[in-house]
Structure 1
Amino acid sequence: MLSRLAPKLAVAWAERIFLTPPRHDWSEVERPWLASAQRAWLHTNGLPVAAWNGRPMQTYRWGENRRGKVALLHGWAGRATQFHALVEALVADGYEVVAIDAPAHGASPGRQASLLHFAQALARLVRNEGGVDAVIAHSLGGAAAVYAMARYRLPVGKLALLGPAADVAVYARQVGAALDLDAEQMAALRYGMETRLGVQWAELNAVSRAAELRLPGLVIHDRDDKEVDHQAGAAIAAAWPGAQWHLSQGLGHRRLLRDSAVIAQVRTFLAA
């Protein structure tokens, strides 16, 4: 209704919805990992909106570095402890695991986030560690990891993506359809956000950015993923020189993170 009566206000509202992730409480299985982590804070910097900088982000650390160090980046509306099954396996293998809650996610304060927030969060985490042997990222975190690796050339040995998103424009179209925005209003939404963020959406596309990557890669996506179509992962893997591609089935978007076969594939990839 608002899109018809006050188009400009509707576009502004759509942008706010686009940048506001829903929050969810920690599950019972995550809480022991939340309690057992060594926790600290990093702060945002280098983001295009002044009010977004200097904000605290919660970091986590598990295990000892006997075989290497692995960094984790969650997806939209996610949090670091969603990787609990993978953390358990990696710590048992002798890896030190570090992770971060992106702004407005998990234990990190704030109300707004974007792919740029995620990319900066990963960059801050990796650089704070002086580099890591591998990054494992899920969903939007996967797209952000590809962008961060291509844009900032982070000191990372390997990159594994689980159910990665590829194009922020897809999510924007979903928001626009839910709010009944017409083509003109969608164009205004895109132009306004590109102007505010100082980057075109095309520059954030994980498929085109994946072609720039030169580190070993693994992409796993589930055929039954209803939140991010598996074709996104397939396209990223196809564009990424030398990347390994695996298509699972029956796991959906989040069970991918705790499936034993997926975890085994990631462990094999890291050990190779």
Structure 2
Amino acid sequence: MTFRTLEKVAPPAAVRLAERLWCTVPRGPVRPFDVPGERFVVPVDGRSVVVESWGEGPIVYLLHGWGGWRGQFAAFRQPLLDAGFRVVALDAPSHGDSDAGSFGRGRGLLPEFTVALTRVVEAVGPAHAVVGHSLGGAAAAIAVLDGLRTRHLVLVAAMADAIPYTRDYAATFGFSERTRVAFLSRLELRVKRRMTDFDVPVRARAAVSPLPPALLVHDLRDKEVRHSDAETLVAAWPGAELRSTEGLGHRRILRDPGVVAEVVAHLVGTPAARPEQALEDVNA
């Protein structure tokens, strides 16, 4: 009823509310890694992004999804270390221990995930691989399409394009197509980018420069990000491979030993996984 009333008496207010709700980060428990790493801060546009690091070797960056935090990758830490990688995990703006983003506390923006990842890589060192979950997977793919260099990209339960989900969002909250289009236009002004910039399959098909090989892992019963997103991504991204699971859902997939082993084996199975060669190849 709120949106129906606002659309009648104050359409601009309905648009502002739609934008705020879309950008509101869901609250949840934030648990640290079981074994603390070296914690430090990387400044991003005047705000602090918290980063945690373990080990030495080729760097694997871990980027959580919407409403997540770096500790969600706890199951990946030791297997990656055992495989000879350095593990670097970050909290996106308005998530975990990092400062609030430009939209204020409790609200986040996809481009800020992308910028934070890029700045952390610039500060810490070349990426052998980036592993992104959910919205963090989309952000990692966009960062690569924007020019971030990495040997490998792993997308776990990643969203292909946010636009279809805004239609689901409008249906859930009961606001009109006019409000949906207007709130997206308002969001474009806020982030200073067109929404089409975040359509990963379209941009991957149009990419001129070679893209790194991608491994996609997605559950067939994921209720938050449709499995069809993974199918669309793997069809659009050159050299991409898809591994489908069943019954792990959207978040438990990050804790599954089989999924972790699959990702680590994928990274170890390449010649560049040798520490002394990987850094050299990335810098070539």
When normalised by structure 2's length, the TM-score is 0.86
Query: Residue 85 of structure 1 aligns with which residue?
Result: 75
Query: Residue 3 of structure 1 aligns with which residue?
Result: 3
2:112 partner SS? helix
Aligned-partner Cα distance in 1 for 2:89–2:119 = 11
- Conserved? CA contact 1:146–1:209, under 8 Å: no
Aligned-partner Cα distance in 2 for 1:9–1:115 = 23
Aligned-partner Cα distance in 2 for 1:40–1:129 = 10
* Residue from 110, 113, 123 that aligns with 1:128: 123
Q: Deviations over 1:117-171 (max 9, x none)?
A: 11001101111123111110000011111111011x2121111110001111133
- Conserved? CA contact 2:69–2:91, under 8 Å: yes
Report the count of equivalent residues: 257
- Conserved? CA contact 2:34–2:74, under 8 Å: no
Divergent runs of 4+, >6 A:
none
Q: Which runs of 5+ in 2 are unaligned?
A: 270-284
The answer to whether 1:72 aligns with 2:27 is: no
* Residue from 243, 247, 261 that aligns with 1:264: 261
The answer to whether 1:102 aligns with 2:100 is: no
- Conserved? CA contact 1:56–1:109, under 8 Å: yes
Deviation at 1:184, TM superposition (A): 1.0
Instruction: Kindly report which structure 2 residues correspond to 1:54-73, keeping only aligned pairs within 5 A, or say none.
Output: 54-65=46-57, 68-73=58-63
- Conserved? CA contact 1:87–1:97, under 8 Å: yes
2:34 partner SS? helix
Deviation at 1:26, TM superposition (A): 2.5
Aligned-partner Cα distance in 1 for 2:37–2:116 = 18
Query: Residue 200 of structure 1 aligns with which residue?
Result: 194
Aligned-partner Cα distance in 1 for 2:244–2:164 = 21
Q: Which runs of 5+ in 1 are unaligned?
A: 46-53
Q: Deviations over 1:70-104 (max 9, x none)?
A: 10110000011100001121112221101110011
Deviation at 1:31, TM superposition (A): 4.8
Q: Deviations over 1:160-207 (max 9, x none)?
A: 110001111133223322321111111111111122222221211121
% identical aligned pairs: 39
- Conserved? CA contact 1:131–1:154, under 8 Å: no
Query: Residue 51 of structure 1 aligns with which residue?
Result: none
1:90 partner SS? helix
Aligned residues: CA RMSD: 1.5
Query: Residue 213 of structure 2 aligns with which residue?
Result: 216
Instruction: Kindly report which structure 2 residues correspond to 1:1-272, keeping only aligned pairs within 5 A, or say none.
Output: 1-5=1-5, 6-27=10-31, 30-33=32-35, 36-45=36-45, 54-65=46-57, 68-110=58-100, 111=105, 112-151=107-146, 153-211=147-205, 212=207, 214-272=211-269
